[in-house]
Amino acid sequence: MSILIVPAILSGMMMGAVYALVALGLTLIYGVLHIINFTHGSLLMLALYVVYFLNLHLGLDPYLAIPIVLPLFFTLGYCLQRGLIAPMSGGSEQNVLLITLAVSLMIDNLALYFWTSNTRSADIAYAYDTVEILGALLPLGRVIAFAAALAVSPVIWAFMAFTRTGAAIRAVAIEKRGAELVGIDVNHTYAICFGIGTACVALAACLLFPTFYVTPQVGYTFVLVAFTTVVLGGMGSLPGALIAGLLLGIIESLCGLFLGESLGQIGIFLAFILILLFKPSGLFGKRAGS
């Protein structure tokens, strides 16, 4: 078993990078809009389908689909927040949660209706290629996703730190009413933020697709882990989400190795409960409690 530890840690990190990518969008939305967004898993599923169909009909490589899928999902996220979630929630936190839940039910079942429950995956030439690192064979697709996760977080961080829109988003996140007073369009900023979060999850889909499959239920496979990642990293913290994602991937992999794969996920949720109980603000969170 001991010779498997290094490969297990590495493959856990690769999987963790995917969790981090999914969680980045979620933590951004939570940090600014303070809503638990249950549509996130459904949007991941939707993006996977788009990548799949682009590959099927146009022969487009999942990585080359990124320039198409990202703007598409940014727009979708923007419209979803501005046109549906915000006007329908009436400002109540509990209602937002239920509305995102209902929207996710809607998206999942529309996918089921139009695309059936068939599992779809693509026979991509490099799907079986591996990279050897420290004696461990790692799937090429996962290594690319890992690199992308490392690259994307600083980009988003820089966007938040150095652009006007980024500053507006930060202002709204900290003090909504104050931001309104200085002339920031809060609804627009919220929707932009939701759009960026959705674009993040679409990026995750492009990077995940070569090593995974898509069904209308696939979102559930990742959404609970993504919530855990967000909380563990500190709600709203981008570096937190990245590190927490990697950490959870390693925890899951090692728990799977030593406790059996069935109990591997328990490691994730136990970490979740422990962090909530002892450091509710998360690894990198600033605020505690409410």
Partner 1 sequence: MKFQSWGQCALAFFAIAYLAGVYFASSPIWMGFSINALIVTLAALSWNITGGLGGLSSFGHAALYGTGAYASAILQVKYGVNAWFGLGGGIAAGAAMGAFIGGLAFRYGLKGSYFALVTLAFAEVLRICASSFEWTGGGSGLQLKLMPGLAQLQIIERPWIYTGLLAVVGLVMFLTGLIKHSRFGAYLIAIRENEDAAEALGINTYKIKVQAMAISGAFGGLAGVLYLQLWLFIDSTVVYGSAVSVEALIGPIIGGAGTVWGPLLGTLGLHLLGEGTKSLLPNSPGLNFVFYAIVLICALRFLPQGFVGFAARFGAFNKKERDDA
Partner 2 sequence: MKNTFNRRAILQGSGALVAGVAAPSVLRAQTPIVKVGVLEPLTGNLAYNGTQCAAGAKFAAEAINAAGGIKSMGGAKIELVVVDAQSRPEVAASAVDTLVEANVCAFTGATASALGLASSQAAAKYNLAQVFSIGTAETVVTRGLPNVFRFTPGVNKCTSIALENLKLLNQGAGNVVKTAAIVHEDGPFGSNMAKILAEELPKQGIQIVETIPHPTPHRDFSNIALRVKASKADILIPSNYINEYTLMARALNQQRVELKAIYSILGGAASNIKFVRENNEVAQYVMDCNHWYDPTKAESKALAARVAAAGLDLTYDVMVSYATIQVIADALERGASADRQKMIEALAASTFDKSIMPYGPTKFVNGDNTSAQPVNTQIRGDKIELVFPKQYASAEAVFPVPVKKN
The minimum distance between CB 233 and partner 1, in angstroms, equals 13
75 binds partner 2 (CB under 8 A): no
96: nearest Cα among 161, 150, 30: 30
Report the residue number, 24 or 76, with the smaller CB distance to partner 2. Answer: 24
Query: Over the Cα atoms of the chain, what is R_g?
Result: 19
Report the residue number, 113 or 159, with the smaller CB distance to partner 2. Answer: 113
Q: Quick one: which segment of 84-92, 154-162, 172-180, 258-266 binds partner 2 (CB under 8 A)?
A: 258-266
Binding site for partner 1 (CB under 8 A): 34, 36, 84, 87-90, 92-95, 97-99, 101-103, 105-106, 108-110, 112-113, 224, 227-228, 231, 260, 262-263, 265-266, 269-270, 272-273, 276-278, 280, 288-290
Report how far residue 191's alpha carbon sits from residue 202's, in angstroms, rounded to the nearest whole number: 16
List helix spans (H) across the chain: 5-33, 40-58, 66-79, 86-89, 93-115, 140-162, 164-174, 176-181, 186-208, 218-233, 238-259, 261-278
8 binds partner 2 (CB under 8 A): yes
163 binds partner 2 (CB under 8 A): no
173: Cβ contacts below 8 Å, ≥ 6 apart: 31, 32, 236
Amino acid at 206: C
Asked if residues 6 and 214 have their Cβ atoms less than 8 Å apart, the reply is no
* Residues of this chain that bind partner 2 (CB under 8 A): 1, 3-4, 7-8, 11-12, 14-15, 109, 112, 116-123, 127-128, 130, 137-139, 211-213, 215-217, 220-222, 252-253, 256-257, 260-262, 264-265
